């Protein structure tokens, strides 16, 4: 991020680029030092155990052990019988129980309305910058900043949600609602085209988009269990492209083309077949992002419904069963 910002005001020489790349490579490969150190410790421990066996270990052989009675196991119920009878939150739902549960429907709706709008803003960021008259160098900068703040959002929401949940019983769905509400600020900055606001909007969009994913996947694992987590993880993630299609293609794309056609007509020009449309000004995206802001607020409301439904669950000890399993296995 520092290098990207510095490039706006200075021109780097080849040696400076090489120095910057060296620093980045060192940072990228630094975690390997931790892995190598731990592997070396493990190897030394195994080696010392092999060279110095414990003479106090005794082998106990039991002759004629008593027969072990294996309890009769009942066959599992048919897959379709308990579809609409889900277990308690935190237990392992099967796939259909999760799909048809009210909690999953609420979460899927919130993801579609919330992340769909954020993803639309990120996908169109370069074109938004052109429409609002930003120079090419600035557009490159804030498009790059989106990826950086996307990463920072993932890290921050993961650590923060875990800390507040453990210490204050702060539910993850409520934090997800707050992130959705914060993303509305970025949508409004784009809609009204405030001078130089796209830099702030890109930071907000990148951070919120990154922050939403750890919360969503943690919520799915905590409410619906881990047995079918990979499938439910994919199901929750599928709401994002659905929302992006609705807002990117059906809303933003349509309204952008309509405004571009108005500008062509005002100039007395006719669009040639196959010619790309180009729109300039705040009105190119204003209505689209006002609609996205409204739908994101609906997503906030829907997400808050999930907060109310799961408040007792998150007030309790959601990791109790894992500790009990660990004790029973030990």
Q: What is the pLDDT of residue 112?
A: 95
> Where are the chain's structural domains?
2-51, 95-329
How many Å apart are CA 152 and CA 157, to the nearest integer? 8
Q: Helix axis angle, 172-192 relative to 286-309, nearest 10°?
A: 170
For residue range 15-64, list pLDDT tens digits in order. 988 998 999 899 999 999 999 999 999 998 888 877 766 555 555 555 56
How many Å apart are CA 242 and CA 299, to the nearest integer? 14
Lookup result for tokens 């923060």:
160
Q: What is the pLDDT of residue 86?
A: 87
How many Cα atoms within 13 Å fall on the side-chain side of residue 238? 9
Q: What is the pLDDT of residue 194?
A: 85
Q: What is the pLDDT of residue 32?
A: 92
CB of 215 within 8 A of CB of 161? yes
Q: Which residues contact 224 (CB under 8 A, 6 or more apart)?
A: 92, 93, 98, 101, 103, 104, 232
How many Cα atoms within 13 Å fall on the side-chain side of residue 275? 11
CB of 203 within 8 A of CB of 190? no
Taking the model in full, what pTM does it have?
0.78
Q: What is the pLDDT of residue 65?
A: 60
How many Å apart are CA 229 and CA 221, to the nearest integer? 6
Q: Write down the H helix ranges in 193-253.
A: 197-224, 229-237, 239-244
CB of 186 within 8 A of CB of 211? no
For residue range 210-268, list pLDDT tens digits in order. 999 999 999 999 999 999 999 999 988 889 999 999 999 999 999 999 999 999 888 88
Q: What is the pLDDT of residue 70?
A: 64
CB of 65 within 8 A of CB of 55? no
H/E stretch holding 285 reads none
How many Å apart are CA 255 and CA 206, to the nearest integer? 24
CB of 316 within 8 A of CB of 207? no
State the Cα angle at 159 between 156 and 164, rounded to 5°.
115
How many Å apart are CA 71 and CA 69, to the nearest integer? 6
Q: Where are the beta strands (DSSP E) in the chain?
A: none
Q: What is the pLDDT of residue 66?
A: 63
For residue range 179-194, list pLDDT tens digits in order. 999 999 999 999 999 8
| Of 263, 68, 324, 178, residue with least CA distance to 170 | 178
Q: What are phi and psi of 326, to 5 degrees?
A: -65, -40
Q: Is the pLDDT of residue 81 over 90?
A: no
For residue range 130-182, list pLDDT tens digits in order. 999 998 888 888 888 888 899 999 999 999 999 999 999 999 999 999 999 99
Find the largest Cα–Cα distance for the chain: 101
| Of 64, 84, 61, 119, residue with least CA distance to 238 | 119
For residue range 268-305, list pLDDT tens digits in order. 888 877 778 889 999 999 999 999 999 999 999 999 99
Q: Is the pLDDT of residue 330 over 70?
A: no
> Which CATH code is given to the segment(s) 95-329?
1.20.1250.20
Reported residue count of the chain is 330
């Amino acid at each position: 991020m520092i290098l990207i910002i510095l490039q706006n005001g200075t021109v780097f020489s080849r040696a400076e680029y090489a120095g910057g790349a060296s620093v980045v490579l060192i940072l990228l490969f630094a975690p390997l030092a931790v892995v190598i150190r731990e592997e070396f410790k493990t190897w030394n421990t195994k080696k010392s155990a092999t060279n110095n066996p414990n003479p106090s270990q005794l082998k106990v052989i039991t002759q004629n052990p008593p027969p072990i009675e294996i309890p009769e196991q009942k066959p599992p119920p048919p897959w379709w019988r308990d579809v609409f009878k889900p277990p308690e939150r935190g237990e392992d739902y099967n796939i259909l129980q999760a799909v048809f549960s009210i909690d999953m429907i609420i979460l899927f709706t919130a993801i579609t309305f919330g992340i769909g709008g954020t993803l639309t803003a990120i996908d169109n960021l370069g074109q938004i910058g052109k429409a609002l008259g930003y120079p090419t160098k600035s557009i490159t900068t804030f498009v790059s900043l989106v990826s950086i703040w996307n990463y920072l959002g993932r890290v921050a929401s993961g650590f923060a949600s875990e800390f507040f949940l453990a210490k204050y019983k702060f539910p993850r769905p409520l934090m997800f609602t707050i992130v959705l509400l914060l993303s509305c600020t970025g949508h409004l900055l784009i809609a009204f085209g405030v001078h130089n606001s796209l830099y702030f909007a890109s930071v907000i969009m990148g951070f919120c988009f990154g922050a939403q994913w750890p919360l969503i996947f943690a919520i799915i694992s905590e409410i619906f269990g881990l047995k079918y987590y990979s499938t439910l993880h994919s199901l929750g993630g599928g709401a994002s492209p659905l929302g992006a299609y609705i807002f990117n293609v059906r809303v933003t794309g349509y309204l952008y083309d309509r405004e571009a056609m108005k500008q062509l007509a005002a100039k007395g020009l006719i669009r040639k077949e196959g010619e790309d449309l180009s729109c300039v000004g705040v009105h190119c995206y204003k209505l689209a992002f006002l609609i996205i802001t409204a739908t994101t607020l609906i997503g906030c409301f829907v997400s808050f419904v999930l907060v109310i439904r799961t408040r007792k669950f998150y007030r309790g000890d959601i990791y109790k069963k894992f500790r009990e399993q660990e004790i029973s296995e030990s």
